[in-house]
Structure formats: structure tokens, C-alpha cells
């Protein structure tokens, strides 16, 4: 995936985070428990931070294209979908089978950050 695609996906994830956060705060607040609301808020928080990371990663790829950065971005996208997505599902449904998906998403995010760090460390100026 090219840098502009990662940046565009990051922008979409950021917009979705804003929409989900607003919907949870205003539309769901009276419909779900405070605990479920806190789970959604945590998912939104991680989604927004990692959306910004994808935008930065995309811009970085446009300046210094590296295969390792593309792989890192892929891990961040998968991690974001698994981590935040499973939190949303857990808060809004009774699908308890999603609990194991959350740490898989977290590990994917960690791998993405680690690969990005390694790519930056190896980069020659």
C-alpha cells in the first residue's frame, strides 16, 4: 500500500472515531451501562490515536518508501480493527467470544509500532 493510502485510511478511521464517540456519548449513553460506555470510549481513544499514527506513517512512506513501513502499517490497521472493533462488539452485544480478539489486536498494534521503530532506527540519512 502506498503512503497516501495509509494516510487516507487514517483519516477515515479518525472520522469514524469522532462519529462513534459522539454516537456513544449522545445516542447510547442512556441505552447502555456506564461500564459498556467506558469500553466504547477506550476503543474510540485507541482508534483516534492509531488513526493519527496511520496518517503520519502514510506521510512518512511518501517521503521514504520502505517495505518494512508498509508491513508496520498493515499490522496497525489489523490491530486497530481487532482491538477497537472487538471493544465495540463487546460493549454492544453479548458476543463474549470477542474477548480473545482484543489482545490479538493489541499485539498487532505493538508489532506495528515495533516495526515502525525498527524501520526508523535502520533508516540512513
Spell out the per-residue pLDDT of the chain, length 125, in tens: 788 899 999 999 999 999 999 999 898 888 999 999 999 999 999 999 999 999 999 999 999 888 999 999 999 999 999 999 999 999 999 899 999 999 999 999 999 999 999 998 987 65
Supply the range of the domain harboring residue 42.
Answer: 3-122
Distances in Å between the alpha carbon of 36 and those of 28, 45, 85, 89, 100? 10, 14, 14, 10, 17
Q: What is the pLDDT of residue 125?
A: 58
User: Nearest Cα to 25, choosing from 8, 10, 37, 9?
Assistant: 37
Question: And the C-alpha cell for 17?
Answer: 472515531
Total domain count, the chain: 1
Amino acid at each position: 500500500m502506498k503512503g497516501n493510502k495509509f494516510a487516507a485510511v487514517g483519516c477515515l478511521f479518525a472520522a469514524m472515531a469522532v462519529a462513534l464517540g459522539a454516537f456513544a456519548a449522545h445516542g447510547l449513553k442512556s441505552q447502555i451501562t456506564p461500564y459498556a460506555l467506558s469500553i466504547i470510549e477506550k476503543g474510540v481513544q485507541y482508534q483516534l490515536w492509531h488513526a493519527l499514527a496511520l496518517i503520519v506513517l502514510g506521510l512518512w512512506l511518501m517521503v521514504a518508501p520502505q517495505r518494512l513501513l508498509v508491513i508496520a502499517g498493515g499490522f496497525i490497521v489489523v490491530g486497530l480493527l481487532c482491538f477497537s472493533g472487538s471493544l465495540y462488539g463487546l460493549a454492544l452485544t453479548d458476543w463474549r467470544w470477542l474477548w480473545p480478539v482484543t489482545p490479538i489486536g493489541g499485539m498487532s498494534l505493538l508489532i506495528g509500532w515495533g516495526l515502525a521503530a525498527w524501520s526508523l532506527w535502520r533508516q540512513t540519512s
